[in-house]
Amino acid sequence: SVPLLQAARKKNSLNLLELSEAELEEQFVRGDGPGGQATNKTNNCVVLKHIPSGIVVKCHQTRSLEKNRKIAREILQEKVDLFYKGEDSDVFKEKKASEKQKQEKKRRAKENLERKKLFKEMQQLAKE
């Protein structure tokens, strides 16, 4: 039950669909958020649109325009892969596996906490 487009931005995906530059529309805009003058005076935020699917990615993670362009393309490639392959996408499978690990970790932590509480109660009873 992972929303498909939220599963993007995983590093180790191998079999992603290739994007051609002809299918992309790129704009450079002023970023928003914290940063003051460094943000307000430079157009280093990249807005990348994949024309066939209509998917739009906005990237303003760094102050470098080139790095933002590279990151935006990586994110867009993963989102386009998810859009066309759906649940068969490597990105989706990785996200699902990591969520499963996270849930398992939470479950184990909860069990350990219950054991600790039980142990403390047993110690209190032994003292009395």
Q: Assess whether 28 and 62 both reside in one domain.
A: yes
How far is 96 from 86, CA to CA, in rounded Å?
12
pLDDT score, position 8: 52
Q: What CATH number is associated with residue 47? A: 3.30.160.20
- Long-range contacts from 61-66, C-beta under 8 angstroms, 24+ separation: 63/35, 63/38, 65/28
Count structural domains, the chain. Answer: 2
Q: Is residue 5 part of a domain?
A: no
Asked if residue 32 is part of any domain, the answer here is yes
> What pLDDT is recorded for position 9?
54
| Residue 14 lies inside a defined structural domain of this protein | no
Are 79 and 27 part of one and the same domain?
A: yes
Helices 90-127 and 65-85: crossing angle, nearest 10°? 90
The residue that leads in pLDDT, 94 or 101, is: 101
Q: How far apart are CA 110 and CA 128, in angstroms?
A: 28
Q: Which range (3-12, 63-72, 119-128) has the least confidence?
A: 3-12
Any domain includes 30: yes
In a shared domain, residues 64 and 95: no
pTM over 0.85: no
- Residues spanned by the domain of 26: 21-85
The single residue listed with the structure tokens 């993670």 is 61
Res. 91 pLDDT band, cuts 50 70 90:
confident
| Same domain? 76 vs 100 | no
pLDDT at 7 exceeding the cut of 60: no
Q: Do 104 and 77 lie in a common domain?
A: no
Same domain (yes/no): 74, 97: no
- Same domain? For 103 and 72 the reply is no
Mean pLDDT of the region 91-98: 84
pLDDT tens readout for residues 31-58: 777 777 767 778 889 999 999 999 999 9
